[in-house]
């Protein structure tokens, strides 16, 4: 599930409108609509954290290692050397 879909689901579960969510983060309703649709360019982690927190949620950022032995991993490791 995309992050935007998870934010929409959280907002709807909380019974909060886009307009009310916008007020909570000091933004406009059109900005919230763009954020939730994935149309905000250069969306920062700080904004995502602020929005998730305003909705009573939390944002967790996780980086998983690539499968060891895959061609992409070997290529990346060669370039880094």
The per-residue pLDDT for range 10-20, each reduced to its tens digit, is 999 999 999 99
- Average predicted confidence (pLDDT) for the chain: 89
Q: Enter the pTM of the model.
A: 0.75
Encoding tokens for residue 16? 């909060």
Cα–Cα separations (whole angstroms), residue 60 to 3, 36, 71: 10, 17, 28
pLDDT exceeds cutoff 60 at 46: yes
Domain ranges of the chain: 1-81
Architecture of domain 1-81: Orthogonal Bundle (1.10)
What's the pLDDT score for residue 12? 98
Cα–Cα separations (whole angstroms), residue 72 to 36, 68, 78, 79, 80: 31, 9, 10, 11, 12
The pLDDT confidence band at residue 1, using thresholds 50, 70 and 90, is low
pLDDT exceeds cutoff 80 at 52: yes
């Amino acid at each position: 599930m995309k992050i935007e879909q998870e934010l929409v689901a959280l907002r709807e579960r909380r019974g909060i409108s886009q307009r009310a969510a916008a007020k909570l983060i000091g933004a406009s309703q059109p900005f919230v609509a763009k954020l939730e649709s994935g149309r905000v360019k250069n969306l920062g982690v700080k904004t995502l954290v602020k929005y998730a927190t305003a909705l009573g949620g939390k944002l967790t950022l996780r980086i998983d290692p690539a499968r060891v032995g895959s061609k992409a991993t070997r290529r990346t490791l060669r370039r880094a050397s």
